[in-house]
A and B are shown apart, each in its own frame.
Chain A
Amino acid sequence: MRALCWTGVNELTVERVPDPRILNRHDIIVEVTLSSTCGSDLHLLGGYIPAMSAGDIIGHEFLGTVVETGPDVRRHRVGDRVVVCSIIGCGRCWYCEQGLWSLCDNSNTTPGVPDLVYGSNPAGIFGYSHAMGGYAGSHAEYVRVPFADQGAFSVPEGLSDEAAVFASDAVPTGWMGADLAGVRPGDVVAVWGCGGVGQMAARAAMLLGAERVIAIDRLPERLEMTRRHIGAETIDYSTQDVLGELIERTGGRGPDVCIEAVGMEAHGEGVQYHYDRAKQQVRLASDRISALREAIHACRKGGTVSVLGVFGGLADKFPIGAVMNKGLTLRTGQQHGQRYIPDLLERMDRGEIRTAHLLTHLLPLDEGPRGYAMFKDKTDGCVRAVLRPGG
């Protein structure tokens, strides 16, 4: 089959590789219909999440058709149209039983790496480096899906492929950000980042009853999209003072919940940004946290900061003083999709969560490198470039 492989920092190549096989009894093989780019891939591409190896197939947000099932698979049959959670969970360990699927004890086949760097090992993730299991990703004609009874979900008939594919990653991640933060009716919620994840977090906050949702970015097309399709108000951080706006719009209190959906390559204005970037480039710090700092600073006393953006190692100038003295709660994690996806598919089917607008560029697999270039540089209004391996 053909697959999009990482071959070096900022280098992707479409290669011919062997077809995947069933390797564990709970596996299925899925013929990939659509496979999306995600902000997390950018961190891998740029070399910020190390433990990538030339030849690794990337991609983790996908939908397709079951073409083969392992002997212990019960819930799926050949021919089913399924969307698959980007994070792999066994369903049997204590963490999975608690609904903490991205902390699964059994799905990471390379636990030694995170054990050493983080002190313990989180779940395996499709196409996400040899720290997260080294699983082959979904930017390919076929992909092997481990623990398929837990991670693959049949798609309601009325929901199009183009809308449903985001139930894999962007929708449950955004939902988790609002859910873990305990968003309640009457809350004011601010969201940093208007990518797929930030938009879905903003929508989730509204559905959970937030009275006002304010989303922050600098890309005009994303800000416009967030107003029109999500219904949130926006702040353009390149022309407006974020902290000033937020304090004014929240009666001097600050948002009850601040959701960070930007991650370790945060862009920013001024000295702070250049300082972070310089440190990252010489590897004195691995993560840039300007959006996270701002979220912590903006948050009201006793509020919650929910971190969806991916961070990999160590950050500098983390405002622990603000966290402590304002009594903030931090919630974070890779997404626990298995816990949310069935309900979210129903909400999407009912039209409560709209996603199709996120797909701005539909491309054949061969154009994967171009899709990533657009997505990375945010050119041509690209929000998510989605690959169609079938052509």
Chain B
Amino acid sequence: MEKSAKLVLAAFGAAGVAVLLSGRSRDRGTDGRRPRWQVVTVNRPVEEVAPAGRPPEPLAALGDAVRTRVRPAPGGRGTELAARPGDGTRGRARLARTMGRHPEQTVATALREAKQLLEVGEVTTVEGQPAGRRTATGTLLRSAAHRSRGRLPR
């Protein structure tokens, strides 16, 4: 497990949970090889989430670096929008360039932003809000929390 994730769990007195979460990587599918799909449910109809089958921004901008999939969610909950790092060689090269060390995190962030753009029209932020003097106390945790808009690297 990555350092930032361990830090968060320890801070919550939930270090024990780490035991449950570690072990097998959750980023691989059950066959243990292909990257697992990450999915968000968007409270909008399929035609709006992927008009004419085209994925929404900012996923679309990632091009063949990611693969995407949409299907209606059960119970009238909108659309399940899934993405995972692409597996073509071109896709992989591009992924490494645009996403660095944690492609799953980049995919998660893009999914979350796509959902927010579709549901509320913009990405919610706290960047640029006031704060008092920052010192070392809690800074590590804060920056990890905000860097990982989608999820913390595991």
Contacts and interface: CB of A to CB of B under 8 A. Distances in A.
B131 A117 contact: no
A57 B12 contact: no
A258 B75 CA distance: 33
B152 A115 contact: yes
A81 interface: no
B23 interface: no
Interface string A277-306: 000000111100000000000000000000
Contacts of B127: 23
Given A23-B126, A55-B133, A56-B131, A106 B116 contact: yes
Interface stretch (A127-135, A183-191, A323-331): A127-135
Contacts of A314: 13-14, 16-17
Given A17-B130, A105-B115, A111-B149, A50 B11 contact: yes
Contacts, number: 176
Interface in A73-123: 90, 92-94, 97, 105-107, 109-113, 115-117
Given A5-B132, A116-B151, A92 B43 contact: yes
Contact of B152 (A20, A113, A135, A284): A113
Given A53-B138, A53-B139, A312-B12, A109 B124 contact: yes
Interface string B7-21: 011011110110001
A51 B133 contact: no
B33 interface: no
Interface string B103-139: 0000000001001100111101111111111111111
B154 to A, nearest CB: 8
A113 B43 contact: no
Given A109-B149, A111-B151, A117-B12, A133 B43 contact: no
A50 B12 contact: yes
Interface residues of A, number: 59
Interface string B63-97: 00000000000000110000000000000000000
Contacts of B21: 116
B54 interface: no
Interface stretch (A7-15, A32-40, A174-182, A249-257): A7-15
Contacts of B112: 111
Interface in B1-36: 5, 8-9, 11-14, 16-17, 21
A162 B16 CA distance: 44
Nearest to B136: A54
Contacts of B145: 51, 110, 112-113, 130-131, 134
Given A130-B146, A286-B12, A313-B13, A18 B130 contact: yes
Given A7-B132, A7-B137, 11 more contacts: A50-B11, A53-B138, A54-B133, A54-B134, A72-B121, A94-B41, A113-B144, A116-B9, A130-B138, A130-B145, A147-B120
Interface of A: 1, 3, 5, 7-8, 13, 15, 17-21, 23-26, 50-57, 72, 90, 92-94, 97, 105-107, 109-113, 115-117, 124, 130-131, 133-136, 140, 144, 146-147, 283-286, 312-314
20 contacts: A20-B130, A25-B121, A50-B141, A51-B12, A53-B137, A57-B130, A92-B43, A94-B41, A106-B120, A112-B150, A113-B141, A113-B148, A115-B151, A116-B21, A130-B142, A131-B145, A134-B142, A144-B129, A284-B13, A312-B12
Kindly list the 4 A-B residue pairs having the minimum CB-CB distance in the complex, ordered from nearest: A286-B13, A5-B132, A53-B138, A112-B148
